[in-house]
Structure 1
C-alpha cells in the first residue's frame, strides 16, 4: 500500500475515533450519558426521576448506563473502523502484532487476495 494512502487512512481513523460518541438514556429516563472512546464520560444528566432512587441505586443505574453506552460505542466504532480498513480490524484485546507481522501486512500485495 502506498505510504500516502496509509497516512490518509490513518488520518481518517484518528478523526473517526476522536469524533466517536454515543448518547444513551436509561429505560426509566432517569439517567442520560454521553460517552466517548476509551470509556470517557463526556456528559452525565440526571432527570428529576433520578431522585426517586437511593444513592446506591442511582450509582448502580449510572454505572449500568455508562457500561451499556460504552458497549454500543465500541460496536459502532468497530463497524466504522471496519469500513475504513476494508474489514481489516483486530479484536479489541487481541495481542499486538510484531514489527515483522506489521511489515509483512504492509508489504502484502492487495491484489493477491482476489
Structure 2
C-alpha cells in the first residue's frame, strides 16, 4: 500500500498467510493453585473458568437437573476456595475439585432421599 499524501509513513502491510501471534502463556495448574493459595484472585478466576464445565457436567450427570447442578457447582467451588489451603497436591487440582463435586452431589442426594422418606411417612399418618 503506498503511503498517503498526508503521512510520510504507512502502516506495515499485513500478509494473509502470516501466522497469528502466539497467545500469552497460561500458568500451569500447579502455578495457578499456588497463586490462588497466596490470594491471587485472577489465578482463582482462571482455575474456576478452566474447571467449571467439567464440574457442572459431572453434577448434571449425578443429580439430573440442571438447576440443581448449577447450585451444586457454586457450592463445589465455594468449598474449594475454603479448602484450598488443605489441597496438598497429591492429585491434580481437577481430580480434587471433581472429588468435592462428587461429595457435594452425594450429600444433596442423601438429603433429598431423607426428605422424600420423611414426606412418605407423613403421608401415611
TM range (shorter): 0.3 to 0.5
* TM-score under structure 1 length normalisation: 0.35
Larger radius of gyration: 2
TM-score (norm 2): 0.32
Flag the structure with higher strand content: 1
RCO greater where, 1 or 2, for CA within 8 Å and sep 6 or more?
1
Greater helix fraction, Structure 1 or Structure 2: 2
